């Protein structure tokens, strides 16, 4: 997987996670975590770790 695909996946994961804070937090949080994990297979790891963290935070908000 190339570097640009990893960046796109990371940004998509972050955007999905942020939307998950306000609307459908459980399903969009899971989607953000999955996109972040898929993005970890690229050289761009930092942004995908942030996407995973945002997804987990959306899940926590949804479960509380």
pLDDT tens string 15-49:
999 998 898 889 999 999 999 999 999 888 899 99
Residue 53 near residue 34 (C-beta atoms within 8 A): no
Convert the pLDDT of each residue in 2-12 to its tens digit: 889 989 999 99
Rounded Cα distance, 12 and 34, in Å: 11
Would you say the pTM of this structure is higher than 0.75?
yes
Rounded Cα distance, 61 and 10, in Å: 21
């Amino acid at each position: 997987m190339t570097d640009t695909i990893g960046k796109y996946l990371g940004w998509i994961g972050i955007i999905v996670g942020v939307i998950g804070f306000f609307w459908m937090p459980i399903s969009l949080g899971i989607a953000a975590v999955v996109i972040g994990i898929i993005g970890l297979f690229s050289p761009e790891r930092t942004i995908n770790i942030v996407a995973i963290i945002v997804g987990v935070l959306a899940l926590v908000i949804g479960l509380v």
